[in-house]
């Protein structure tokens, strides 16, 4: 399953957050795969797309950054997965 991890950082914590990221690259726990990570141009936050069947690994990753970042985690689906569900729900006659 895919999870969208969104983070924001307060301006007073930007330097320590960037310092930590530059020191280790923000690795994910074993069993969790990074599909991509994007940073806002102003440094205030971004999002990290993960794939795993182990929700505990996603929680571990979020907890490792909780002292510096406000983190939210949401399971996400691709268009191909939601299209038949939406079609059945919204195109009923």
Q: What is the pLDDT of residues 6-53, one digit of tens each?
A: 999 999 999 999 999 999 999 999 999 999 999 999 999 999 999 999
- The CATH-assigned architecture of domain 2-90 is 2-Layer Sandwich (3.30)
pTM for this entry = 0.88
Parallel/antiparallel/unpaired status of strands 2-8 and 70-76 = antiparallel
Full DSSP string of 53-87: S-HHHHHHHHHHHTTT-EEEEEEE--HHHHHHHHH
At 92 the pLDDT is: 67
CA distance 53 to 62: 16
pLDDT-based confidence at residue 93 (cuts at 50, 70, 90): low
Query: What residue spans define the domains of the chain?
Result: 2-90
Q: Which helix (H) or strand (E) holds 19?
A: helix 14-24
């Amino acid at each position: 399953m895919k999870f969208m991890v969104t983070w924001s950082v307060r301006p007073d914590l930007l330097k320590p957050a960037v310092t930590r990221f530059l020191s280790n690259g923000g690795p994910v726990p074993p069993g969790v795969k990074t599909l991509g990570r994007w940073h806002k141009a102003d440094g205030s936050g971004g999002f990290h797309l993960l794939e795993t069947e182990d929700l505990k690994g996603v929680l571990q990753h979020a907890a490792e950054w909780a002292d510096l970042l406000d983190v939210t985690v949401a399971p996400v689906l691709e268009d191909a997965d939601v299209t038949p569900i939406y079609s059945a729900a919204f195109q009923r006659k």
